[in-house]
Chain A
Amino acid sequence: MLLSLMIFIPLLGMVVVLLLPRESEELVKRVTLIFTLIPLALAVYLFISYDRSTAGTQFFHGPVPWIDAFNIQYHVGIDGLSVTLLLLTALLGPICVIASWRNIEKGIKAYMALFLLLETGMLGFFAALDLFLFYVFFELTLLPMYFLIGVWGGPRREYAAIKFFLYTLFGSVLMLVAMIAVYLNSNIVNGVAEGARTFDIPTLITLAATQGHALADPDFQVWVFVGFFIGFAVKVPIFPFHTWLPDAHVEAPTAISVILAGILLKMGTYGLVRVNMAMFPQGLAHFTDGIGFWGNSLALLGFINIVYGSFCALAQTDFKKLVAYSSIGHMGFVILGLAARNSEGITGAILQMFNHGVISAMLFLLVGVLYDRAHHREINGFGGLGTRMPIYTGITTLAFMASLGLPGLSGFVGEALSLLGAYDRFKFLTILSTIGIVVGAAYFLWTLQRVFLGTLNPKYEALPEINGREILTLVPLGILTIVLGVWPNFAIDMFRESVTNLIDVLHAI
């Protein structure tokens, strides 16, 4: 019940915001902030009271029948993986509202309303336990995102928004097909239909592990795996489905970039874990067993993402595009870790998901701070800002260092664990992937040098220092970065059992 409350409070907020008069902008912002703070409080409560010692889902609501004709139910619940991502989502909500406080110039009411709708979609996605509900929430995020980019974005916003929308839709159509295939086969045992079909994820996971069930058929699993995989791969994004990302990021307003990198990308990897890995272990095995081309393909994709993303980032001169490509590189570690199919790899991948959410959110906020002041993002157009904006420089250095995987900060733990896990199975690819670590350091340090070091560009002698509101958005993320770097068990405690459980499923085949 609590969980449902949390999911739908932003939706309620949207209704409230829509009822407010258009002129009272301050009120709209405050109301939005309140309606994002409530889910945060609930998320913190869930995080604290979550029982860390078991792998099972908790805080159920449902299953409540929703569309009886197809046995679709409203069913939400969280396990260790979802609770961390829910916390991340709920945390980024108010941060993004605060970040949008001053720099959304038109239609603040519609913006905030759409943002709240988006938040409901994201929260619901991470909590959904019914495959259909899962899909509905997945699609629900698409629509507000389309408008948020397409209306409040930069000069090429329409192009970026349509590209984002169509790309994701392309993926989700394949996912839908796969989902229907799963549904239609969900009551076939040994070729005979018996009982009702279902969309319920926990049930499907059990069925997919049952001997003789149609869902447990290896060939079926491989094909369905591919369908879901492409759907999620677009979202992650995995090479070669990534090109919507730089465009969307460059055009989107700061707060939306934060959500895009912080949460939406995680929806892809979360889906991979929740559906592809847990439901289709044999499909997964086909792509990660290390035999032949297909057996290495998932790790290969991870490797390509890491190296390709890093090299592309190195060549960028647009600050935001650089961060966008760095995201592609970092998500590669997640894929590599998942491909490893062992506790180090999967834990590393999940940590990396969470940490990347925090760190990339920081990076995009920081880019936004600079853009608000200088009105451009050309890396070579700055220089020597370190003398003018010491606090900003300090926080940026922290975020860069976290992102390039400096030990002691959170980025390291996820990367290191992913690599450690992956090395166990894919030695060659993992060693090659470490190139990404060096290149990652290279582009961040080079950027640091071009923007902050050297002599101060006379154009920016009067650039104001980062202000209190902006610091307020960055500090919670900075603290998380340090805390998780120093004490990773803080997060791992949440999903250790879930990972163990998942590995049992993976090894049961």
Chain B
Amino acid sequence: MVVSLIRIILLCPLAAFAIFGLLGLANRRFPRQDYLSTAAMLIALACSFLLLREVVPSPEAHTVDWLSLGGVTFSMGFYLDSVTVIMLIVVTLVSSLVHIFSMGYMHGDPRYPRFFAYLSLFSFSMLFLVVSDNLLGIYIGWELVGLCSYLLIGFWFEKDSAANACKKAFLTTRVGDVGMFIGMMMLFTKFQTLSLYGEGGIFALAASQLTTGDMVWLSIAGVLIFCGAIGKSAQMPLHTWLPDAMEGPTPVSALIHAATMVAAGVYLTARMFPILTETSSLVIAYVGGITALVAATIAIVRFDIKRVLAYSTISQLGYMMLAIGAGSYVAGLFHLTTHAFFKALLFLGSGSVIHAFHAMHHAHDDEHDHEHADDHEHSDEHILGAEIPPDQDMRNMGGLRHKMPITFITMLIATLSISGVPFIFSGFWSKDAILGGVLGRAMEWNSAHHYILFGMALCAAGITAFYMFRLIFMTFFGEPRNQEMHDMAHESPKSMTVPLLILAALSLPVVNILWFNDTYVKPPPQPHLHAPQHAYVSPDSNIGGKGYTVSLFGVSEAAAAEEEGGHGTDGTHTDDGHHGHGPAHAIAMVLSIFVAGLGIFLSWLFYHRRTLSAESVATTCRPLYNLFWHKYYFDEFYDGVLVALTVWKARLFAKFDGSVVDGIVNGVGFVTRDLLAAFTGAFDNRVVDGIVNRVAQVTWAVGGRIRRIQTGAIQTYLFVVLAGIVLLILIFRAL
């Protein structure tokens, strides 16, 4: 049952894509590819919900041999636990809504069917990634979602900016993937398998075979695997592709670059949780923390509505990484789900806004015959951030709340959620879980690192609230800044507003109820996580005892320890519970409410009341502003140094190949033909042939003398013959 459900979930979207691909070969189209793809997703969604009922507390694995060599077998299989099911639901749900939204948003695009086919392929890949029980399967899904991301970012490939962006996205993530692959090679060489679960899986083997001497090795492997997540989840320093990825259609940004694919990195990191060591956890946490903070600061100064959201996504993903790195496994995944819903909502909302402006453009600008002609005006925003398409520029917006009430309300809900406005929005709970978890670990381990990380997270939370409300204020409040555009704007059609409303409902905590049930999602043990020296766990105690982790609302030992019953608990850590009453959580909650409030208040002052002037602050802090505006000069560095260096090296190699290597070959040819052969030829002519000619001349001369003997008279000859015979006889007689 479970297996066939998973098969249906995977095969439906794949079939939708396959139909498109096969008909495409014959240059045909399925009449309603949009319905086909959407129906496939809805079936997958229904099956995912069925799985929610099916899932049992103990994970199940179903494998087939995918690739069997003489000694080694790589198996492919499904692994289904609560996290898988939740991810399945998130992916299928967001994907279905995006499908429906796209029917309105993409309407009239010349490649409308192709868009849906790509969405289907993406959904398949993402779902495959989610259900895979082994690293190889995850890697396959991982790269396939990368391909889909590439195809969808470059969906309007006539634009050079889109063509650049999709290439950049693929290559940047591939750099991370190579790191991940090296990590996989390390694990494979050690364990001779890439399966994660079960008796012979990596986790079991790592727990049983590795000793403390292997910790450095395991840390390196963990960090390398995490490299894949750095690329895919756009963490520092491989984050630069995600803002550029906004060149894709907005529903794609919502689905792939906000809700699902970029979250795959977090999912992977969570999956690798059992083999994360203290060092690799800390690396992950720091990467996440720095990303959260840096991306948030960049978001403050963006004017392109989609780019603000893109940096916000990077920042939130950093948050999740931070959570997992700090051991708050459940909180990280919780934030992943809530973020998927509210960020998809934000993107779709921004899509709705863009669509409103966009239609205006279309009406105005008839000479642009292409549906998305206005997008041609894009230029290399990714380098300078200078030119923003007018329909995405928040400076052209303002006062839209009356024109687009549904979009406004739903986006406001999402903003409240992401900003962490307390209690009635899901984002508050998940963010608070992370903050509480990090602080909890800091207090428990008394570790300076985790206090720093907590500070970063808190700052990022405040900044997030600030720039998100800046977005809301600039877009929906105040006076219209561009009257002409404002007049033309209108609320979007139903196919677009309905998904917005559903997503808005999903941003309420009540639908995320599963996460509040501590028994549903349980963090796996981390046998290799060594708490700092003063930890109360004796180093030689068993795996279960060592596995301390932070659950949703507090620090607790791993499930295994819990089952063993009261071993290792001395009350220094807060108790887990549904309402987070531990000291860490209380502190975190108060602080987070405070920074969120501060952020919102400042945003209000700057962008609504306008008591403070953003411009004057920008002028005062010019260097800092420039730093943010230029996105910490990452793009400049990559384009100017790394890409240039690679291309330079390629040219050098090619030149070397053409002149040196081939030069040697041609040189050998030259030496052989023009020198050696010429010399041999001359030698042959003069010496060898000379000797031959000499011999001939001598023969000729001698012959000239001897020929006199030939009289021509037969009888003379005969006489000579006779004389010869007589002579011979005489000679023989004499002998």
Contacts and interface: CB of A to CB of B under 8 A. Distances in A.
B188 interface: yes
B365 interface: no
B182 interface: yes
A341 interface: no
A377 interface: no
Interface stretch (A71-79, A194-202, A311-319): A311-319
Interface residues of A, number: 68
Contacts of A488: 66-67
B24 interface: yes
Interface stretch (B90-98, B390-398, B646-654, B711-719): B646-654
B160 A454 contact: yes
Contact of B653 (A308, A430, A441, A489): A308
A406 B147 contact: yes
B66 A445 contact: no
Interface in A283-319: 308, 311-316
Contact of A312 (B163, B171, B181, B650): B650
A489 B181 contact: no
A441 B665 contact: no
Contact of B147 (A315, A401, A452, A455): A401
B608 to A, nearest CB: 42
- B-side binding surface: helix, strand, loop or mixed? helix
A394 B68 CA distance: 31
B623 interface: no
Contacts of B598: none
Interface stretch (B137-145, B206-214, B293-301, B548-556): B137-145
B665 A163 contact: yes
B664 interface: yes
B185 A419 contact: yes
B171 A441 contact: yes
- A-side binding surface: helix, strand, loop or mixed? helix
Interface in A343-402: 343-344, 347, 384, 386-387, 390-391, 394, 397, 401
A437 B178 contact: yes
Interface stretch (A29-37, A94-102, A496-504): A496-504
B69 A344 contact: yes
Given A445-B167, A492-B68, A243 B657 contact: yes
Contacts, number: 153
Interface string B649-692: 11101110100011011000100000000000000000000000
A437 B27 CA distance: 33
B68 A442 contact: no
Given A243-B665, A438-B178, A445-B167, A394 B24 contact: yes
B143 A408 contact: yes
A407 B186 CA distance: 19
A211 B685 CA distance: 54
A448 B163 CA distance: 9
Interface string B147-166: 10011001001111011101
Contacts of A243: 657, 661-662, 665
B709 interface: no
Nearest to A244: B665
B158 A475 contact: no
A431 interface: yes
A488 B163 CA distance: 33
Interface in A321-347: 343-344, 347
A465 interface: yes
Contacts of B143: 406-408, 412
Contact of A454 (B163, B175, B649): B163
A315 B653 contact: yes
Contacts of B164: 449
Most buried by B among A240, A312, A394: A312
A496 B649 contact: no
Contact of A438 (B136, B175, B188, B653): B175
A391 B70 contact: no
B170 interface: yes
A499 B68 CA distance: 12
A471 interface: yes
Contacts of B142: 407
B449 interface: no
A43 interface: no
Contacts of A420: 184-185, 188-189
Interface in B170-225: 170-171, 174-175, 178, 181-182, 184-186, 188-189
A416 interface: yes
A446 interface: yes
B458 to A, nearest CB: 37
B158 A455 contact: yes
Nearest to B651: A315
A454 B154 CA distance: 10
- The size bracket of the interface on B is 35 or more
B21 interface: yes
B157 A453 contact: yes
A226 interface: no
Nearest to A471: B25
A413 interface: yes
Given A434-B182, A441-B174, A454-B163, A312 B70 contact: no
A489 B188 contact: no
Interface string B54-86: 000000000001111111100000000000000
Contacts of B662: 243
A423 interface: yes
A378 to B, nearest CB: 15
A445 B170 contact: yes
B181 A437 contact: yes
Contacts of A417: 67, 69
A460 interface: no
B380 to A, nearest CB: 13
Contacts of B664: 240
B157 A424 contact: no
Nearest to B27: A391
Contacts of B185: 419-420, 423, 430
A425 B500 CA distance: 54
A47 interface: no
B623 to A, nearest CB: 34
Contact of B181 (A244, A343, A408, A419): A419
A430 B184 CA distance: 13
Contact of B158 (A244, A435, A456, A496): A456
Contacts of B154: 453
Interface in A223-274: 239-240, 242-244
Nearest to B128: A408
Nearest to B156: A453
A454 B247 CA distance: 13
A407 B182 contact: no
Interface string A138-179: 000000000000000000000000010011000000000000
Contacts of B70: 343, 347, 496-497, 499-500, 503
Given A434-B181, A434-B182, A465-B27, A413 B67 contact: yes
11 contacts: A244-B665, A314-B646, A314-B650, A343-B71, A394-B24, A408-B144, A419-B185, A420-B184, A438-B175, A442-B171, A496-B69
Given A413-B67, A424-B189, A454-B163, 20 more contacts: A167-B665, A311-B653, A311-B654, A315-B647, A343-B70, A386-B157, A391-B24, A419-B185, A420-B188, A431-B182, A437-B178, A438-B174, A438-B175, A438-B178, A445-B170, A449-B167, A488-B66, A489-B66, A492-B69, A496-B70
Interface of A: 163, 166-167, 239-240, 242-244, 308, 311-316, 343-344, 347, 384, 386-387, 390-391, 394, 397, 401, 406-408, 412-413, 416-417, 419-420, 423-424, 430-431, 434-435, 437-439, 441-443, 445-446, 448-449, 452-456, 465, 471, 475, 487-489, 492, 496-497, 499-500, 503
Interface of B: 21, 24-25, 27, 65-72, 136, 139-140, 142-144, 147, 150-151, 154, 157-160, 162-164, 166-167, 170-171, 174-175, 178, 181-182, 184-186, 188-189, 646-647, 649-651, 653-655, 657, 661-662, 664-665, 669
